Amino acid sequence: MEFLTMDWLGTPVWFWMSFLGLVVALTAFDLGILHKEDKEMGIGESLKLSAFYISIALAFGVWVYFQKTAAFGAEIGADLTMKYYTGFFIEKALSIDNIFVIGLIFTTFSIPPKYQYRALLWGIIGVIVLRGVMIALGAALVEQFYWILYFFAVFLIATGVKMLFASEKPMDVANNPAVKFISRIMRVTPELHEQKFFVRLPDSKTGKMVLAATPLFLALVVINVVDLVFAVDSVPAIFAITTDTFIVYTSNIMAVLGLRALYFALAAMVHRFHYLKYALALVLVFIGSKIFVADFILGGDKFPPVLSLAVTFGLILGGILYSLWKTKGEDAAAHS
């Protein structure tokens, strides 16, 4: 039992085990009960499931407050809770860009909606592992070299400025290096085989049964590769908010968990969020600037977490509302 109270990366082991247990339970429930059979998810079901995941994430923030308060006191507990919510909202907003790219990937590989959820679910499992590795590496670097936070800050500011002025260029999924690599090292079937990632087929020359990947597996690989690209922006953004590894990881994963449900609600109307990218660009610039403000203007004092959450939430909400207002006639025009 002493093992459970041991400190790991600034947080007791039982904190980590409780969170990972929650993630495993949610994933098992989703895969084994909600979607035991492959079927197309409707917008109504998608919105309900998205609301469920968001509710779990918000409730988890309350749990973080009580547990961190018990361990470190009310002031630190409230501070870390605000940082958890800030990280969660940033990651949730950034996931809308993921949704656009995921839709493009499924279109490229001709994946029908009823098989998309399975690919997304296993993709999220891969994301949980890959982001855990990235965050662990980031935490180790920050602990050894504090100055790397300044590098993260400059990177975020530069990324935000680039997002403000860069022209939109669609991703070339068909020529993705991961797709080319898999196609070189193993056979890939030209057609889907229902929900299967791999199938055994007779070799055209020898007649022996050989293993071959399906387009659904290629889509799964590309989804994970693309998430790593997005994580290059999102992981430094959360480290710029807090260096508490538990808060960094949980806020990141809680936002990603609901991505697969949110996808089906937003995939058909992602074009309505065109102007959100400008709000996200401003959020990245703001988060990056906070480090310099805290260290060189506030004399090392922390940037007020409530103000940080308010600015982040306000920018994201403003971007969503402005996008919906500016594009309110597009759906009507498309159906006329």
C-alpha 292/C-alpha 274 separation (Å) is 30
Check residue 336 and give its pLDDT. 47
pLDDT, tens digit only, all 336 positions of the chain: 666 667 776 788 888 888 989 988 887 777 665 555 566 667 777 888 888 889 999 999 999 999 889 888 898 899 999 999 998 988 888 777 777 778 888 888 888 888 887 788 788 888 888 888 888 888 888 888 888 888 888 988 998 898 888 766 666 666 777 778 888 888 888 888 888 889 988 877 777 888 889 989 988 888 888 777 777 777 888 888 888 888 999 998 898 887 777 777 777 667 777 788 888 889 889 988 988 888 888 776 677 878 888 898 899 889 889 988 888 776 555 444
Handedness of CA 306, 309, 312, 315 (dihedral sign): negative
C-alpha 71/C-alpha 202 separation (Å) is 61
Range list of H helices, the chain: 2-5, 13-29, 43-72, 74-108, 113-144, 148-165, 177-185, 215-241, 245-257, 259-266, 276-292, 305-326, 330-335
C-alpha 30/C-alpha 254 separation (Å) is 15
DSSP state for residue 259 in the 8-state scheme: H
- Cβ within 8 Å of residue 248, ≥6 positions away: 87, 135, 138, 139, 235, 238, 239, 242
pLDDT tens, position by position, 43-82: 777 888 888 889 999 999 999 999 889 888 898 899 999 9
C-alpha 315/C-alpha 232 separation (Å) is 21
Check residue 78 and give its pLDDT. 92
Check residue 335 and give its pLDDT. 47
Check residue 60 and give its pLDDT. 94
| Residues 238 and 26: beta-carbon distance below 8 Å | no
pLDDT tens, position by position, 84-93: 999 898 888 8
| Residues 217 and 99: beta-carbon distance below 8 Å | no
Q: Minimal CA–CA distance to 277: which of 171, 105, 160?
A: 160
